[in-house]
Structure 1
Amino acid sequence: MLDWLKKWYANKFSDPQVVTLFLLLLIGFMAIYWLSGILAPVLVAIAFAYLLEWPVVRLSRLGLSRGVSTIAVVAGFVGLATLTLMWIIPIFWYQGRNLLRDLPQMIEQGRAYMLELPENFPGIVSVEQVNILMHSVDERVMAFGRNMLELSLASIVDLVALLIYLVLVPLMVFFMLKDKAQLTASFAQWLPTERKLITQVWHEMNTQIMNYIRGKILEILIVGTVSYAVFALFGLNYPLLLGVLVGLSVLIPYVGAAVVTLPVALVAFFQWGPTAEFGYLMLAYGIIQALDGNLLVPLLFSEAVDLNPVFIIIAVLFFGGLFGFWGIFFAIPLASLVKATVNAWSTRVHPYSEPTD
């Protein structure tokens, strides 16, 4: 066993480029892990820079300079985002306030349903089980109330952080796009001269990250907009609030769709009860989720994400546990990075191997 480990180590780490790539990845992961709070605006700016790189390149190909193209794209994006938020945030706030106002009534209605379960299903559901479940719900509601109170007390700090984001992030996005070549060259100066393996992994990941971020933003907008339109068409309460939740749920592959189904089903059930309207809405919601997973995702991401669903779920759990929200958002690119590194590592030419024709 020890001899096998020695041979494996000599085979895999005999190339200095492998050691350099390993150290670079290790330093990057540790920096994000320990400095994620400080680097959060930078990560946001990088995500938006990848998103806006495509229109900047298209304008540059039309004859505009890189600087003029960047100004036009960033100004248009900031203006459109501002107008959209000015429309969404007031409605979102109003519907969220109404949900908190109606929550006690929904809880009492849920209690009434649960108290009828022992009579409707004798021998299956007992009164003791219902009491334990209601006690658990009461504890969760109290915890939710405490969290909301703490959130309101910290709103001033959050407002200051939001203002910093609104100023710093657009500036960083602008300079990342405008001075992309200079920034890339400056970063390359810190790398060793022999960096064929790093370059191979970087080129593969650069394309995948760009396609992934662009596709994920489009998926959020499409799924959220369609869900809002369907909820509003059915007359469901809080349609924008639930539509935004459904749109954001696609950030967490597979798991997000399952989690967000619960609030949609509960709101619909408390509004209509076990009626045909409830069944039709859940059927329409199921069709949205099916079209997203079987049509929209393959269309948007194509071959950019060539990973087994099991590996994607493991990546979400692992990187989400390490880096929080950004670990979840970049879970698929990070998993792709691991895959690209392993592929480049396994297919490299060993320094001691004989050349092939």
Structure 2
Amino acid sequence: MLGFDVGTARKVWTAFLIALLFFIIYIASTTVLVIVFAVFFSYLIYPMVQLVERVRPRRVPRVASIALVFVVVVAVIAVVGSLFGVQLQDQATRLLTQLPTLMRSDVPNRLPLPHFLEPLRERIADFVRSQIETGSDNAVPMARSLGLGVVHAASNLIYLVLIPILSFLLIKDGAQMRDAFLALLSKRHRVLWSEIVDDVNVLLSKYVRALLFLSLATLFCYGIAFSLFGVPYSFLLAVGAGLLEFVPFAGPLAAIAVTLVVALFSGFPHLLWLVIFFALYRMFQDYVLNPYLMSEGVEVSPFLVIVGLLAGDQLGGVAGIFLAVPVIATLKIVLGRAKVFYSASHEQGEAARRALTGHTDEEG
């Protein structure tokens, strides 16, 4: 009637709601990031909650066991921070203080070059020296700006308090929230979204725990290797590399680049051994440890990872980069489940239509 198609209108309305949702997420990026950290923290804590609940007496409420786990975890984090925070701050302060001197050092003349490039060493050294002089003028303001950003984020202590509180509520009321969401849907779509929610739950649990183990493995392996090699600022670089493991693909590459630059400008004499260590460790992690920790549903193609990181950086900065891979993997699950669901519905409809047609023909 009047050229109005109900099916098209529903699709347009759905697309509008999805666009509105992404717009709201973009506007409230800080709040979304806090919620995301709370969700990730919940997935890290939940296995310990399950372990405590196995031995929890029936007369003890479930809330008490969850609270016990959170108190222990927060206490452990506080103790570890107090033990290693001073050393980390000391190395970071020394690096920022010596940064201008390191940037103006005579590194270009000590660059290892292939034999056929030796005649061009002076030209290469002049080019690198000019780049160092340009970069040294921007290094201190950049470091100062980065430091102010970190201080500003740390000053918002309310977020640090909200993350464990939100995680506690998510673990306590997660099942009720899931059931309430499914109750809003029709009976037909409830089956589809129940499967999607379960798959996303498994995906995020495996993904978050895999990232945690990869980060810890990088922290320990880099820390031991850097200490044995005598790399300057070894603890600071190892902690930074461990944290950057939470940024897929780009994070490990950035950690390697920063470590090599700091080692080179600090006069580290065994740069080749450091490169060999990085190559061996990345092979071990990419072909042994990562496939073991990441399930098939978590894996995303490198092309999509790069595109997702670029798009995430443009849309949400650090939060967008952090969320790129889990969002892509979630969309992969949603599209896959929806395709199977609607294909099965279409086949059932066709089978019912053929059965009805055959029954009518027999009556005729």
> Deviation per CA, 1:87-121, whole angstroms, max 9, x where unpaired?
2321111111111233233223245527999xx94
State the partner residue of 2:168.
174
Q: Choose which of 177, 187, 195 in structure 2 pairs with 1:183.
A: 177
Q: How many residues align?
A: 341
State yes or no: 1:96 paired with 2:89: no
* Whole-angstrom CA distance in 1 between matches of 2:316 and 2:335: 22
Tell me, yes or no, if the aligned pair for 1:272 and 1:278 is still in contact at 8 Å.
no
**Letter in structure 1 aligned against 2:62:** R
Tell me, yes or no, if the aligned pair for 1:316 and 1:327 is still in contact at 8 Å.
yes
> Deviation per CA, 1:311-355, whole angstroms, max 9, x where unpaired?
222222223332222322232221112212221232223458313
* Whole-angstrom CA distance in 1 between matches of 2:283 and 2:138: 34
Tell me, yes or no, if the aligned pair for 1:15 and 1:350 is still in contact at 8 Å.
no
Which stretch of the first structure deviates more once superposed, 150-159 or 102-111? 150-159
Q: Choose which of 77, 84, 100 in structure 1 pairs with 2:80.
A: 84
Which stretch of the first structure deviates more once superposed, 317-326 or 347-356? 347-356
Query: Using a 3 Å threshold, how does the CA distance of structure 1 residues 154 and 253 change in structure 2: closer, same or farther?
Result: closer
- What secondary structure does 2:349 align onto? coil
Query: Using a 3 Å threshold, how does the CA distance of structure 1 residues 214 and 25 change in structure 2: closer, same or farther?
Result: farther
State yes or no: 1:203 paired with 2:191: no
> Deviation per CA, 1:149-176, whole angstroms, max 9, x where unpaired?
3455567643431x11222111111111
Give the CA deviation at 1:236. Answer: 1.3
Query: Using a 3 Å threshold, how does the CA distance of structure 1 residues 329 and 235 change in structure 2: closer, same or farther?
Result: same
> Deviation per CA, 1:168-212, whole angstroms, max 9, x where unpaired?
111111111122223334444554554233333222111101110
* Whole-angstrom CA distance in 2 between matches of 1:49 and 1:260: 27
State the partner residue of 1:305.
298
Query: Using a 3 Å threshold, how does the CA distance of structure 1 residues 36 and 121 change in structure 2: closer, same or farther?
Result: same
* Whole-angstrom CA distance in 2 between matches of 1:256 and 1:151: 17
Which stretch of the first structure deviates more once superposed, 78-87 or 140-149? 140-149
- What secondary structure does 2:246 align onto? coil
> Deviation per CA, 1:112-161, whole angstroms, max 9, x where unpaired?
527999xx94664664x655543433333332322333455567643431
Query: Using a 3 Å threshold, how does the CA distance of structure 1 residues 158 and 152 change in structure 2: closer, same or farther?
Result: same
TM-score, structure 1 as length reference: 0.82
- Which structure 1 residue ranges, 5 or more long, are not aligned? 1-8
Query: Using a 3 Å threshold, how does the CA distance of structure 1 residues 59 and 43 change in structure 2: closer, same or farther?
Result: same
**Letter in structure 2 aligned against 1:343:** G
Query: Using a 3 Å threshold, how does the CA distance of structure 1 residues 50 and 152 change in structure 2: closer, same or farther?
Result: closer
Give the CA deviation at 1:30. Answer: 2.8
**Letter in structure 1 aligned against 2:204:** I
Query: Using a 3 Å threshold, how does the CA distance of structure 1 residues 200 and 181 change in structure 2: closer, same or farther?
Result: closer
* Whole-angstrom CA distance in 2 between matches of 1:230 and 1:21: 53
Moved over 6 A (4+): 13-16, 18-21, 114-117
State the partner residue of 1:73.
69
Which structure has the higher relative contact order (CA within 8 Å, separation 6+)?
1
Tell me, yes or no, if the aligned pair for 1:212 and 1:304 is still in contact at 8 Å.
no
Give the CA deviation at 1:299. Answer: 1.4
**Letter in structure 1 aligned against 2:72:** G
State the partner residue of 2:316.
323
Tell me, yes or no, if the aligned pair for 1:251 and 1:328 is still in contact at 8 Å.
no
Q: Choose which of 36, 41, 53 in structure 2 pairs with 1:43.
A: 36
* Whole-angstrom CA distance in 2 between matches of 1:140 and 1:27: 42
Q: Choose which of 327, 338, 342 in structure 1 pairs with 2:331.
A: 338
**Letter in structure 1 aligned against 2:200:** M
